[in-house]
Amino acid sequence: MKLADLGEFGLIDRIASRIPSQSGVVLGIGDDAAALLPTPGCLTLITSDMLIEGVHFDLGFTDPASLGRKSLAVNLSDLAAMGATPRQFLLGLALPAGVSLEFVDGFLDGLIEMAHRFDTVLVGGDTCASKGGISISITALGEQRPERVLKRSGAQPGDLVLVTGTVGDAAAGLRQLFAGVRQGGLVRRQLDPEPRVAAGGALADAGLVHAMIDVSDGVLADLTHICDLSGVGARIDLARLPLSEAYRALEQQDPYALALTGGEDYELLFTVAPEKEAAVTELLARVGTPFAVIGAITAGTRVEAVAPDGSPYHPTRAGFDHFG
């Protein structure tokens, strides 16, 4: 059965029938707009990300459920980077009429699974036919108290630079996909990223962090975003970059290039005053999130990487830029 057999409103009904209720949702899917009840004393954080077939995903690489999970995960990662708690989201879908219902249901399975895990619900969206490929646009809403929201702009000279998890895996996974590999940890990191929602919220609630961003364009590019908005520079010690075993095994020639410039890791990159390192260690252990100190914020505006032998390192590729 194809989407064309179901029709636009059949599809919307099919989606709506699977969405649970939530205390913050006064009116969900079905009316001209959704009505939401904010948590008293909280700001609403709102973010949007598009996934375009042929640009962000390839149906030869991903299965529908992973695509559904990733579509929401990349948005949840942006909320996590602000220290926000996910609440609701909107789903924009442009689908060719020939798409199979099997694809649609698989996509919804993944999307709804991710939503359930992070306690967020779908409250509306838009659906239209596509003459080209599939386009997915999600707008996610989260909440946080105003004084706890974590911005990119608060980094101070002397701060430590930290990153959760390991970096470079998603880009290495993409390389593997292009080389014909279809499974393994690196491929999973590319197709099925895990947003650091618990860590982002806990760091914000504890008031420990000066500036935070999620790693979507690569550590170097994303640290540069923090530095630009904070009016500071930074030094990255390459020897301290957290690299997975699988990544090291694959990237033996230059283990730093992809780790610095590969995108889509969806880890959290943040700065804290050096005296807060112990508190951060304790807090991230409590939420079960590994991390590494990878450098420091400096006065000035340059972002430099230093190789293990102390020499300056210049990556051969830049971070991800859609028009670059």
Close Cβ partners of 245 (under 8 Å, ≥ 6 residues apart): none
Which of Mg ion, ligand ADP, none is residue 274 near (CB under 5 to 8 Å by kind)? none
Q: 126 or 321: whose CB is closer to Mg ion?
A: 126
Min dist. Cβ of residue 161 to ligand ADP (A): 39
Q: 57 or 107: whose CB is closer to ligand ADP?
A: 107
Min dist. Cβ of residue 127 to ligand ADP (A): 4
Q: Give kind and range of the element (H or E) at residue 160.
A: strand 160-164
DSSP secondary-structure letter at 2?
Answer: B
Min dist. Cβ of residue 290 to ligand ADP (A): 35
Min dist. Cβ of residue 125 to Mg ion (A): 8
Which has the closest alpha carbon to 153: 305, 302, 297? 297
Helix then strand then coil, % of the chain, to nearest 5: 35, 25, 40
Min dist. Cβ of residue 128 to Mg ion (A): 8
Q: 125 or 200: whose CB is closer to ligand ADP?
A: 125
Min dist. Cβ of residue 13 to ligand ADP (A): 9
Read out DSSP for 77-137? Answer: HHHHHTTPEEEEEEEEEEE-TT-BHHHHHHHHHHHHHHHHHTT-EEEEEEEEE-SSS-EEE
Residue ranges that bind Mg ion, judged by CB under 5 A: 126
Which of Mg ion, ligand ADP, none is residue 228 near (CB under 5 to 8 Å by kind)? none
Which of ligand ADP, Mg ion, none is residue 233 near (CB under 5 to 8 Å by kind)? none
Q: 32 or 275: whose CB is closer to ligand ADP?
A: 32
Instruction: Outline where the chain has alpha helix (H).
Output: 3-16, 64-81, 101-117, 169-178, 185-191, 197-206, 219-230, 245-250, 257-261, 277-286
Min dist. Cβ of residue 97 to ligand ADP (A): 15
Q: 15 or 141: whose CB is closer to ligand ADP?
A: 15
Q: 122 or 226: whose CB is closer to ligand ADP?
A: 122
Q: What is the CA radius of gyration of the chain?
A: 20
Rounded Cα distance between 251 and 216, Å, is 20
Q: 10 or 231: whose CB is closer to ligand ADP?
A: 10
Which of ligand ADP, Mg ion, none is residue 122 near (CB under 5 to 8 Å by kind)? ligand ADP
Min dist. Cβ of residue 11 to ligand ADP (A): 7
Q: 126 or 228: whose CB is closer to Mg ion?
A: 126
One-letter amino acid of 114 = M
Residue 182 has φ and ψ, to the nearest 5°, of: -120, -5
Burial of residue 132 (CB within 10 Å: 0-12, 13-18, 19+) is exposed
Which of Mg ion, ligand ADP, none is residue 319 near (CB under 5 to 8 Å by kind)? none
Burial of residue 215 (CB within 10 Å: 0-12, 13-18, 19+) is buried
Residue ranges that bind ligand ADP, judged by CB under 6 A: 12, 15, 29-32, 91, 93, 122, 124-127
C-alpha 305, offset from chain centre: 24
